Amino acid sequence: MPNAVKFNNYSEQKNKGTHKWGSDVFKVFLTNNLPVNTNTVLANITQIAATGGYVPATLGGPLTIAEAGGITTVQAAQVVFTASGAAMGPFRYYGIYNDTPTTPLIDPLVMFWDHGSNVTLNDGDSFTIKFNGTTPGIIFTDQ
């Protein structure tokens, strides 16, 4: 599993209460353009074309948040993208954004990963994202 890169604005927005991991809807996007950690909202990201059935996938359950020894761990089930009716991609990067807030930011970004190489899904092919290689997998830990 590649290392996650948090978008700079995530920490500020988290501390302002924008991100509510227990109740907000978080989604996974795909892009073939390297995100910049100074991006703040999904509109800053050029997603892949909406072909092959591509739409951002909802980060699924069980979504768990647990604290131990002052460290909070956020976990989620794997996310699967499957091309349907046409090819999907190419993409190299995937990331998470919060689909719930409408103010002060619409679709604020959380973090992204670099898969390391381009992926194109042919009709019927799937791409599975397992955070830290397991499901449920650790998306991140935070103090």
Q: Which whole number is the average pLDDT over 8-35?
A: 94
34 pLDDT higher than 70: yes
**DSSP per-residue string spanning 25-90:** -EEEEEESS---TT--BGGGS-BPPS-TT--PEEPPSPPEEEEETTEEEEEE--EEEE--SS-EEE
Helix (H, G, I), strand (E, B) or coil at 41: strand
Question: What pLDDT is recorded for position 1?
Answer: 58
122 pLDDT higher than 70: yes
Q: Which whole number is the average pLDDT over 96-103?
A: 94
Per-domain residue ranges of the chain:
5-142
Question: What pLDDT is recorded for position 143?
Answer: 75
Q: pLDDT band at 94, cuts 50/70/90?
A: very high
Q: pLDDT band at 60, cuts 50/70/90?
A: confident
pTM, two decimal places: 0.94
Q: What is the mean pLDDT of the chain?
A: 94
Q: Among candidates 64, 61, 117, 125, which has minimal Cα distance to 94?
A: 117
Query: How confident is the model over 9-18, as pLDDT tens digits?
Result: 999 999 999 9
Q: How far is CA 38 from the centre of its chain?
A: 16
